[in-house]
Amino acid sequence: MTLGTSYDNPLRDPQDRRLPQIAGPCGMVIFGVTGDLSRKKLMPAVYDLANRGLLPPGFSLVGFARRDWAHQDFAQIVHDAVKEYSRTDFREEVWRQLSRGFRFVPGDFSDDIAFSQLHDTIEELDRERGTAGNHAFYLSIPPKFFPDVIGQLKEHGLADNGTGAWRRVVVEKPFGHDLKSAQQLNAIVSDVFAPESVFRIDHYLGKETVQNILALRFANQLFEPIWNANYVDHVQITMAEDIGIGGRAGYYDGIGAARDVIQNHLLQLLALVAMEEPTSFEAQSLRTEKQKVLRSVRRPDRLDLHTARGQYVGGWAGGEKVKGFLEEEDIPRSSTTETFAAVKLMIDTRRWAGVPFYLRHGKRLGRRVTEVAVVFKRAPHLPFSATATEELGQNALVIRVQPDEGITVRFGSKVPGTAMEIRDVTMDFAYGGAFVESSPEAYERLILDVLLGEPPLFPQHEEVELSWQILDPVLEFWTELGKPDPYPAGTWGPTSADEMLARDGRAWRRP
Amino acid sequence: MAVDLTSTNASKIASALLLERRRAGSPAMGMVMTFVVVTDEGDHYDALKAARAVSREHPARILGVIRRSARGAASLDAEIKVGDGPSGEQVLLRMSGELARHAESVVLPLLLPDSPVVVWWPGRAPEDPADDPLGRLALRRITDVAAAKRGRAGALLTQAKNYSPGNTDLSWTRLTPWRALLAAALDQYPAKVKGGEVAAERSNPSADLLVAWLTNRLEVPIERAVSKGPGVTHVALTTGGGDIEICRPDGVLAEFTIPNAPNRPVALKRKETAELLAEELRRLDTDDIYQDTVRQVCVLAGHKPPDTPPSLSLKGGDVQRPQRSRGTRKATGPRKRPSAKKSNKS
C-alpha cells in the first residue's frame, strides 16, 4: 500500500450517508457447513449481502465439514440453499461473483491434515482472490466441539493474523451451560482470540431490535421521565414460542427453557430496558451500562415462591394435535428438562427499587410472540365514580419485538355515550407494514459487523458470566425439585406460573 | 377499496379518506410522510406502482397529481384507495381547466399534519423545482433528468443551475453502487489519484454527475469518454502504481481491478425505480455531497455555480476549476477520517 495508515480516502465523507460501508477484502470459513443453520441462515445471508452490494469484491466462502465433497459439490449445496432461503431475488450475476470464491475442505475437527489443508486453502484464496489474510471463522457447531476447533485453529497458525490483517471468530449461543462452563469456554476462546475479535451472536436479538429500544428510550422526552419506580409497577418480559422442540431433542434435553432463552435473550432485553443512559452508543459504553444493571439484579430469597417451571403435555395447539414433551422423539420419558420457565428478578438501583421484572419463556405456548411490557401504576386518585372506572386497567407500554415489531400503548379512554365509563384502549405503532421485509435479517447485520470489525452489540464474556451468576442458583434449586409442572400444549404455561404472580397481587398479560 | 369522486374538492376528498380508512378497519396508521407524485395519464400507472412499493418501507399518503388540459371549466376528479396494498393511502387527483394551474390548492389541504412532504416528478420536471408551486410545499424534491426524452445533458445543467437544498435527482441515486465501489477501491488501495476517466453512452446524466463528483473529491481532471452503453460502462482512476478500474460492459456484471490484486467480478446491477426512491426517502435532509457535485457540474460546463448555503461536507462546497494545474491542492483544512469506521484493523 502506498501511503500507509495516514491515508484519508478522498471519496469518503461523513456527510455522504448514501455510501454503504463495504467490508475490506476478506473471506469467511464456516465450520459445520452442512447444518441447518448454515443452510437456512448463513448461506442465504451471505448471498443477500452480496446482492445488496455490501460484500467486498473477491469475498470467499470456505466450507468445512465431514463430507466427501469437491468444491463444485459445495457450490451446488450453497446454490440450492440460497435459491430456497434467501430474502432477495436470485440473480445470476451475483451468483457468478460469489461462486468463484467457494472452497470446500473435508475433514474432522480432530483431523490435522484437514486443518493444514484449510491453512493452504486460505493462503491460496489470499493469492487468487485477494482476501489479504482477513478471515472470519464461523463456528456453527455444537459447543462441545469449540475447544477442538479453536485448538486446531491455534495449532495450525490459522488464528494468527499477519501484519495489518485480521482473524475473527463467531460463536453461537448458548455460551456454556452454567457459570463454570462459560468461564472455561471463555478461557479457551480468549487464549486464541483477542476479546474484540470474538463475536457472540444471539440470533433472537437482532441489532435492529436493540437499536429500536435505544431509540425509543433515549431519543424521546416522552417516556424517560416515567421510566422508573415512581411510575412503573412492574415489567413483564415474555418470549413465547408456539412450536415444540422439533428436531432439536439432542440439544434441548438437559438444557431447557431457562438456559436456552432466559440466560441470554431475556436478560439482554432486561438490561436494555432497565439500563441507564449510556454516554454514547459505542459498543463499549453500551456494554458498561448493561453490565451495571446486570450486576444490580437480585434474585428473590424464596425461589420456591417466585420462580416457576413447566413441561408441555400433549394436546391440541392452534388446531393441531401435538405430542407432549416426553413423547417427542429422542427425549427420555424421565426427562426433567423444563420447556417453560418463569423468574422474578429485582433490580437494586434507585431507578428500579421495588419494581419486579418477571421473565418467562416457553415452548408450545398460545402463540409466537416476544415482548417487553412496562406496566404502570394506577393513577393515585381517580376523580370518577367507582362504576366509571371499573373496567380500567393499568396503563402499559409494550415493546413488541417479534413478530410485527412495534410499540403498543395501553391507556384508558371514555366509552362513547352519555354514561361516564372508562375502558382500556390500545394504540399501535408498527415499524412499517412490510418494513420487516426490507430490513436486513439479524444474520446479515451480524456477518456484516464481523467483516467490518464493528464492535458487536452482542454480549462479551463479562455479560455472559453475569447472566449465569443470576441464573445458576435458580437452576440448582430446580434440579432438586424433580419433575416440572405439566401444562397442556397451546396454553400459556403451568398454573404455578399464574400463582407466582398472584402472590404479588399481579397477573400475566395475555400477549 | 377504491372510491371515485367526480367534480369534487379537497375537503370532500379528506372526508372520503377518513371514511374509507374507518371502513377498512384503519389499516393506514403510522404514516410517516406525504408523497406527491406529479405525473400524467401515460405514466401514472408505473409511477404510482413504484410509489406504493416504496410506501412499504416508508408508509405514506400518496397523492398522484395529473394535470390535464388547462382549457375548459375547472374540474377535479379523485380516485381514492385505502387498505389496498401494504400500507398507507393513495389518492389520484385529476385536474383540468384553470385548476390545472393551481394544483397546490388541492394538495395543500390533503397533506398529513406535521410530517415531511416529498414531491417526485417521474417524467418532465419543472426547471426550478424549488420554485414550483408544488415543489414549494416539499422538503424533498426528486427529479429524474434521465427521463427527459431528449436534451438530457441540458436538463442536468438546468437542474444544476437551479439547485436548491432539498433537491435531488434519480440520476444521482443510480450512481450510489458505483460510488460505493470506487470508495471501497480506495479503501483497499489507498493511493493518490492522478487522473481518471468515465466512459458511458453519449447522453447519460449519471456519467456527468460521476465525472463531477470525482473531479470535486479527487481534485484532478477526469475525462469523459463515450461508449455504447448501457449506462456507465467503465471508470478508471490512475495512480502511481497502476489503474483502479471498474468495467461493466453488459450493465450487470462488472470486473473490478486494483493494482497488485487479482481481478474480481462484482455484480453491479442497475436498480429499479422503487429501489432508487426507497434510498432517496431514507434521509430527508439536504444531500451535501449532491450539492457539491451539481455545483461542480456547473463549473465544468463553464457556468457560475448556484448560490447555496455552505455544505457540511469536508470539502465545504469548494469546486474545482477545470483549468487548474494538476496536483495543486487548495487548502481545505485538515481532512478527517470518516468517523468510527476502522474497517481493516482487528
Encode pLDDT of B28-41 as tens digits.
567 788 999 999 99
Q: What is the pLDDT of residue A247?
A: 72
At position A190, the amino acid (one-letter code) is S
Give the Cβ contact number of residue A432 at 10 Å.
23
From chain A, pick out residues whose CB is under 8 angstroms from the CB of B343: 21, 23-24, 452-453
Longest dimension (CA), chain A: 84
What pLDDT, on a 0 to 100 scale, did the predictor assign at position B346?
39
Cβ atoms A468, A178 nearer than 8 A: yes
All residues of chain A having their beta carbon less than 8 Å from the beta carbon of residue B345 are: 164, 166, 453
The verdict on a CB contact (< 8 Å) between A453 and B345 is yes
Query: What's chain B's average pLDDT?
Result: 85
Instruction: Please give the average per-residue pLDDT across B298-306, as a whole number.
Output: 90
Range of the domain at B314: 174-346
- Mark whether B143 and B32 lie in a shared domain: yes
Residue A145 confidence (pLDDT) above 50: yes
Which of B132, B151, B173 marks a domain boundary? B173
Q: Are residues B222 and B167 in the same domain?
A: no
Q: Widest CA span of chain B, in angstroms?
A: 71
Label residue A214 exposed, middle or buried (CB < 10 Å: 0-12, 13-18, 19+).
Answer: middle
Asked which of A422-431, B64-73, B204-213, B243-252 is least confident by mean pLDDT, the reply is: A422-431
| pLDDT for position A141 | 86
- Chain A contact present for B283, CB below 8 A: yes
Q: Which three cell numbers stand for residue A30?
A: 464456516
**Is B143 found in the same domain as B34?**
yes
Nearest to residue B188, comparing CAs of A56, A371, A234? A56
Strand partners, A62: A29, A103
Of the candidates B143, B173, B203, which is a domain's last residue?
B173
B39-74 pLDDT, tens digit per residue, is 999 889 999 999 988 887 788 899 999 999 888 889
pLDDT at A5 (0 to 100):
53
> HEC profile for A381-405?
CCCCCCCCCCCCCCCEEEEEEECCC
* Cis-peptide, bond into residue A332, ω within 30° of zero: no
**Burial category of B3 from C-beta neighbours within 10 Å (exposed 0-12, middle 13-18, buried 19 and up):** middle
CA distance A4 to A437: 41
The closest CB to that of A23, out of B256, B339, B343, belongs to B343
Residues B144, B235 within the same domain = no
pLDDT tens, A250-283?
Answer: 778 888 999 989 998 899 999 999 999 999 888 8
pLDDT value, residue B28: 52
For residues B272 and B340, state if they share a domain. yes
Report the candidate in A376, A416, A421, A417 with the shortest Cα–Cα distance to residue A394: A376
Residue that wins the pLDDT comparison between A84 and A210: A84
Mean pLDDT, residues A11-30 taken together: 88
CA A203 – CA B80 distance, rounded (Å)? 42
**What is the rounded CA–CA span in Å between residue A314 and residue A490?**
9
For residue A248, the model assigns a pLDDT of 76
**B86 pLDDT tier (thresholds 50, 70, 90):** low
Nearest Cα neighbor of B168 from B56, B280, B21, B318 is B280
Q: Chain B contact for A129, CB < 8 A?
A: yes
Span of A204-208, A223-227, A336-340, A495-499 with lowest mean pLDDT: A204-208
Confidence grade of residue A455 (pLDDT, cut at 50, 70, 90): low
A426 touching chain B per CB within 8 A: no
Domain count, chain B: 2
Q: What is the pLDDT of residues A170-197, one digit of tens each?
A: 988 778 889 998 998 889 888 899 888 8
ipTM entry: 0.79
Chain B residue with minimum CA distance to A47 = B267
Which of the four pLDDT bands, split at 50, 70 and 90, describes residue B336?
very low
DSSP secondary structure code for residue A337 in this structure = -
Give tens-digit pLDDT for B154-164.
899 999 999 99
Chosen from B266, B311, B312, B313 to mutate, greatest number of chain A CBs within 10 A: B266
Residue at B149: amino acid letter: K
**CB proximity B288 to A under 8 Å:** yes
Q: Answer yes or no: do B252 and B242 share one domain.
A: yes
- Is residue B203 located within the same domain as residue B85? no
Residue-averaged pLDDT of chain A: 88
Report B:99-138 residues touching A (Cβ under 8 A).
Answer: none
Query: What pLDDT, on a 0 to 100 scale, did the predictor assign at position B158?
Result: 93
Same domain, B199 and B132: no
The DSSP secondary structure of A447-485, one letter per residue, reads: HHHHHHTPPPSS--HHHHHHHHHHHHHHHHHHHHH-SPE
Is A265 one of the catalytic residues?
Answer: yes
Higher per-residue confidence, B252 vs A116: A116
Neighbouring-strand partners of residue B235: B198, B246
Greater model confidence, A442 or B84: A442
Are B161 and B29 part of one and the same domain? yes
Same domain, B213 and B141: no
Looking only at the bridges linking them, the beta strands covering A320-322 and A340-347 are: unpaired
Q: Point out the domain boundary residue: B173, B191, B223.
A: B173
What's the pLDDT band for B288 if we cut at 50, 70, 90?
very high
Shared domain check, B139 and B94: yes
Global pTM reads 0.82
Give CA–CA dist B277/B268, Å, rounded. 18
In this structure, are strands A340-347 and A135-139 parallel, antiparallel, or unpaired?
Answer: unpaired
B19 and chain A in contact, CB less than 8 A: no
Judge: B186–A3 Cβ closer than 8 Å, yes or no.
Answer: no
- Model confidence band, residue A8 (pLDDT cutoffs 50, 70, 90): confident
Would an 8 Å CB–CB cutoff place A429 in contact with chain B? yes
Same domain, B169 and B179: no
In chain B, what residues touch A134 (CB-CB under 8 Å)?
A: 344
Instruction: Assess whether pLDDT exceeds 60 at residue B232.
Output: yes
pLDDT digits (tens, 9 = 90+) for A371-414: 999 999 999 888 888 888 888 889 999 999 877 788 999 999 98
The percent of residues above 90 in pLDDT, for chain B, comes to 51
Tell me: the pLDDT tens digits for A476-511? 999 999 899 999 999 999 999 999 999 999 999 988
